[in-house]
């Protein structure tokens, strides 16, 4: 049955994002999973393990919310500029292109490069110390892309 699972490839690791409603099971969970913007992140496809984080997208604010334990990180969208997010007292700017390619900069320094594909994102360049955060942010970016494709 269609479960609307997202996979993110960063280096040799695949992060799995599962829509929250799909955990209900049955046809109602499958239908809800098609339209949800709330996902939990699991290590390398181990859905039975406790999720590492949750990622949500709020289309009204065009905001991605990443929750890691008690910590929350929100993107701030700008109509005429890049989306911003603060993490570990550093501010990052997210630049996206219509082609599905995206980059994350800290000041003028390129930190992350990646590209969206069908239901997945591949990250080509990233600092190892930010790997989990880059995975969570990538899930949020893909949820936003998928939401836009639904035409909702």
Q: Which CATH class is domain 6-150?
A: mainly beta
> Model's pTM, two decimal places?
0.82
End-to-end Cα distance, the chain: 23
| CA 53, chain centre distance (Å) | 11
CA angle 135, 19, 41 (to 5 degrees): 30
Q: What are phi and psi of 132, to 5 degrees?
A: -60, -45
Whether the predicted pLDDT of 20 surpasses 60: yes
Q: What is the pLDDT of residues 90-102, one digit of tens each?
A: 999 999 888 889 9
For the chain, the domains span 6-150
Question: Confidence band (pLDDT; 50, 70, 90) for 1?
Answer: very low
């Amino acid at each position: 049955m269609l479960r609307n699972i997202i996979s993110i490839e960063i280096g040799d690791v695949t992060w799995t994002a599962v829509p929250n409603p799909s955990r209900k099971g049955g046809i109602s969970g499958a239908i809800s999973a098609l339209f949800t913007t709330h996902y939990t992140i699991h290590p390398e496809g181990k859905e039975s393990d406790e999720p590492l984080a949750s990622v949500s997208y709020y289309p009204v604010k065009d905001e991605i919310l990443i929750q890691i334990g008690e910590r929350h990180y929100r993107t701030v969208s700008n109509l005429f500029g890049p989306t911003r997010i603060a993490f570990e007292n550093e501010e990052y700017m997210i630049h996206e292109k219509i082609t599905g390619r995206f980059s994350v900069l800290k000041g003028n320094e390129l930190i992350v490069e990646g590209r969206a594909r069908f239901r997945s994102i591949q990250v080509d360049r990233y600092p190892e110390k930010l790997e989990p955060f880059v995975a969570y942010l990538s899930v949020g970016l893909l949820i936003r892309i998928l939401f836009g494709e639904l035409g909702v």
